[in-house]
Every structure is written in structure tokens, then in C-alpha cells.
Amino acid sequence: MADDHLRAGRRNPQRAFGERPSAYLGITVPGYPNFFCMYGPGTNLAHGGSLIFHSECQMRYITECLELLIADGHRSIEPREDKATDWHERSQAEMRKMVWSQPSVKHSFYKNSASSS
């Protein structure tokens, strides 16, 4: 089972994501080498864009990561914690400026029961 494989190192992504899932660019997660999400946390389309185009962009990033991994002879790749945290903080700061983050919007797919940070 895939879930058992992910827990082989005693790390459970569900526990790591918790109430407010986050992944660098919505694709990679610090502490989970060689783990790539498609349509991961924070990648939902909000403006009627193309899910196909969005998926192609994610695959391009994943492919470039794998090419870099192979070309450099490494065995694993994952984002640095500081870079992932920085990206998350910047993206959340931008999200707070968007219309669906306004206090007058009571029910939104882009909000959950956790704090708005």
C-alpha cells in the first residue's frame, strides 16, 4: 500500500500536513525526499484557469527536479525547510490581499477552521 511505503521512515504526511497543509510550490515537502504532489496544498485554481495547463506546469517542475537529481548523481531531492517556509509565508501574505480572504466572505473554499496565516 502506498501509505505504508510513505511511512517507512516513520514519517506520516497526513500528520505533517495537519490542519493547514503546505508544500513548496504546492509540490514538494521538506523532510519527504523524492515525494512530489500533483495538485498539492495551495494549488487550487481560483480564477477559472485550466487544470490541464496547471498540471503540465507541475509536471515540468517535477521533471526538472528529476533531471537535476540524475544529472548530479544524487539519490534524493527535497526543498530546504527555510526556503519552503519563506515561500509559504510569502504566498499567504499575497493570499490575504485576495478577495476570497476578505472578512465579508464567510464561506470560502480558500478558508478553513484554522487561523488565516
DSSP designation for 100: G
Helix (H, G, I), strand (E, B) or coil at 2: helix
Cell 521533471, residue?
Answer: 63
> Helix %, strand %, coil % for the chain, to 5?
40, 5, 55
* Domain range enclosing 66: 2-101
pTM of the predicted protein model: 0.76
Confirm whether 62 is domain-assigned.
yes
Confirm whether 117 is domain-assigned.
no
Cell digits of residue 31: 523532510
The tens-digit pLDDT sequence of the chain (117 residues) is: 344 444 455 567 676 677 788 899 999 999 899 999 999 888 877 667 788 998 999 999 999 999 999 999 999 999 999 999 999 999 889 888 887 777 787 776 666 655 444
Q: How many domains would you assign to the chain?
A: 1
> Which burial class, exposed, middle or buried, applies to 95 when counting CB atoms under 10 A from its CB (0-12, 13-18, 19+)?
middle
Confirm whether 109 is domain-assigned.
no
